[in-house]
Structure 1
Amino acid sequence: MLKQVGLRLVDTGSCRHPEFMTIRGGALKPAVFPSLVGVIRHPDEGLVLFDTGYDPAFLKATEHLPERLYRLLTPPTIATPVADVLIDAGIDPDSIAHIVLSHFHGDHSSGLKRFPNAIVHCAKAGLQRVWGRGRVAALRAGTPVGVLPDDLPARSAFFEDMPLVSLPRDLLPFDLGADVLGDGALLAVPLPGHCPGHWGLVLREAGGLRFLVADAAWSSRAIRENRPPPTLTATLLGDANEVRSTLGRLHALTTRNPEIVLTPSHCAESAARLNACDGY
């Protein structure tokens, strides 16, 4: 039985991109894709973040070419970075001890520098993909040079090294997860395809199970209808076959057990349901 935690989703900003690039049969016109961060209240560890979303550090890192291309392809709007949301709530970012990072793309990782004391729980495969790369290689990996903290390798804990545990049968066809904190509260689940080292997170709220699926889909609609992005998009970012396979498994999960809430990081439906009155 998963230990119960609290969750609030925070919208840190958004980007615009033609919808058809994110879902098969989508519209040609640009759509808005929010960048959601999970703020998790753990009963013993305090607040834990799932990703860090957009931060002004992203704009600084993409100010010049070639990094500017990232901004031009997916024009961002920074709302309120999660660090500032916490400060407004009277919470010092320095007090955050844990961040679970789904993957290293800049719209998920650009707030990491604001949390200097946090252990960053992430995929070793993801860090190896982006760390120590030249500017062009780092940009191709979706993580512009300058976004990540200089001491990141020293304070990273890798999913691949964590104990594997069985997931609740309600989550089939997903059956195994990495026990992030070692207490059964937060279970990281590999969701391959989008990029090397892409993982989601399973937790239990008061209302039931929640699966934060990061960029395994850009919308809840894509999961419900099993509509992957075009092969071109999936191939540019990662592995198109794995993208389709992972999305198919998420579709099978939500069809088999619609009570489980699946939340993509860029889902406009999920952002529309946010309650600004939720506390931490």
Structure 2
Amino acid sequence: MIRVGLQWIARGACTHPEVMTISGGSLCAVEFPAMVGVIRHPTRGMFLFDTGYDPAFIAATRPFPERLYRWTTPVRIGEDAEWQTWLAAHDIAESEIAGTIISHFHGDHVAGLGNLAHVPVYCARAGLSQLRSSGRFARVRRGLLAALVPPEVDTQARFFEDAPACQLPSAFAPFREARDILGDGSLLAVELPGHCAGHWGLALITEAGQPVLLAADAVWSGQSITQHRPPPRITTALLGDTRRYRQTLDLLSRASKNNGELAILPSHCAASARKFSATGDNDAG
């Protein structure tokens, strides 16, 4: 695999009772950062893995029933999450962004797409189709906010399902099959079903040679992987498919146990982000 640079950076956060994200968790509210992967390809430019929160999320959740999303999942979107401010704080030149890779279409992963609708969007056809076909109440129940995904995204979309199939290196076992979204073996989309329709992660090798699996919302925390503790059924059934979610968790647990060098990064786990940052020249701020 071609090696790439990776920064794992927070952009906003939400709070939620821990018990809704991991079995046996506390009833107390816990803050979950929304992480963004800033990927620097040696020849193709920069790609973002998801977008985190954006002030656009506040506007999209003002009307009813969309406001229910913000009531049930309170968010923190400070001035530092404003698009130009966030770019400048992390030395990201907007002109260098060659594309966005969307793990799935929940609001905390696509809130910044309005800033990026002019570049290719790599995503799952199944996820975009559900976003466009569902009614407003059904979308809110599933964590989807259609206002955050401009119509231009539909024409810019490059679907994971259409990318060439390839085999993953052994460092990612037991995960085997992926989709080569750039066609050069650098960024490999890996289906991680269960959380919602069209939920995918991304496999890559960093410049330092470390294998990384960006796991999106396949779990909310690294602890869930190492201790094999899924969320309660009420959570997984509300958003997706409990059986498939737990199958994915089993694969993640086996991958973590069998591959000591593999970093599995859930999109909302501050501890995993800190650990990854400590392993080298990575920014998990």
After superposition, the Cα gap between the structure-2 partners of 1:81 and 1:5, relative to the gap in structure 1 and judged at 3 Å, is farther
- Asked if structure 1 preserves the Cα contact closer than 8 Å seen for 2:4 and 2:42, the reply is yes
Map of 2:15 onto structure 1: 16
- Residue correspondence of structure 1 range 1-280 to structure 2 within 5 A: 2-79=1-78, 80-81=81-82, 84-89=85-90, 91-205=92-206, 206-273=208-275, 278=283
- Supply the distance in 1 between the matched residues of 2:165 and 2:70 (Cα, whole angstroms): 38
After superposition, the Cα gap between the structure-2 partners of 1:18 and 1:113, relative to the gap in structure 1 and judged at 3 Å, is same
- Asked if structure 1 preserves the Cα contact closer than 8 Å seen for 2:117 and 2:153, the reply is no
Question: What is the deviation of 1:181?
Answer: 0.5
Identity level (%): 47
Secondary structure, aligned partner of 2:129 = helix
Secondary structure, aligned partner of 1:131 = helix
- Supply the distance in 2 between the matched residues of 1:222 and 1:91 (Cα, whole angstroms): 32
Secondary structure, aligned partner of 1:196 = coil
Coordinate RMSD, CA, aligned: 1.9
Normalising to structure 1: TM-score of the pair? 0.94
- Supply the distance in 2 between the matched residues of 1:192 and 1:180 (Cα, whole angstroms): 18
Question: What is the deviation of 1:138?
Answer: 2.3
- Supply the distance in 2 between the matched residues of 1:82 and 1:53 (Cα, whole angstroms): 11
> Alpha-carbon deviations, 1:66-111, whole Å to 9, x = none?
1111001110001425653224456443542211100000000010
Question: What is the deviation of 1:131?
Answer: 1.3
> Alpha-carbon deviations, 1:194-222, whole Å to 9, x = none?
00000000000114101000000000000
Unaligned segments of structure 2, at least 5 residues = none
Secondary structure, aligned partner of 2:243 = helix
- Supply the distance in 2 between the matched residues of 1:82 and 1:165 (Cα, whole angstroms): 35
- Asked if structure 2 preserves the Cα contact closer than 8 Å seen for 1:102 and 1:200, the reply is yes
After superposition, the Cα gap between the structure-2 partners of 1:134 and 1:246, relative to the gap in structure 1 and judged at 3 Å, is same
- Supply the distance in 1 between the matched residues of 2:214 and 2:161 (Cα, whole angstroms): 19
- Supply the distance in 2 between the matched residues of 1:83 and 1:186 (Cα, whole angstroms): 26
Question: What is the deviation of 1:133?
Answer: 3.6
Question: What is the deviation of 1:278?
Answer: 4.5
Question: What is the deviation of 1:118?
Answer: 1.4
Question: What is the deviation of 1:268?
Answer: 1.8
Greater alpha carbon shift after TM alignment, 263-272 vs 82-91: 82-91
After superposition, the Cα gap between the structure-2 partners of 1:201 and 1:156, relative to the gap in structure 1 and judged at 3 Å, is same
- Supply the distance in 1 between the matched residues of 2:26 and 2:265 (Cα, whole angstroms): 22
After superposition, the Cα gap between the structure-2 partners of 1:262 and 1:81, relative to the gap in structure 1 and judged at 3 Å, is farther
- Asked if structure 1 preserves the Cα contact closer than 8 Å seen for 2:3 and 2:209, the reply is no
- Supply the distance in 2 between the matched residues of 1:227 and 1:141 (Cα, whole angstroms): 22
- Asked if structure 1 preserves the Cα contact closer than 8 Å seen for 2:37 and 2:48, the reply is yes
After superposition, the Cα gap between the structure-2 partners of 1:48 and 1:228, relative to the gap in structure 1 and judged at 3 Å, is same
Secondary structure, aligned partner of 1:146 = helix
Number of aligned pairs?
278
Question: What is the deviation of 1:135?
Answer: 2.0
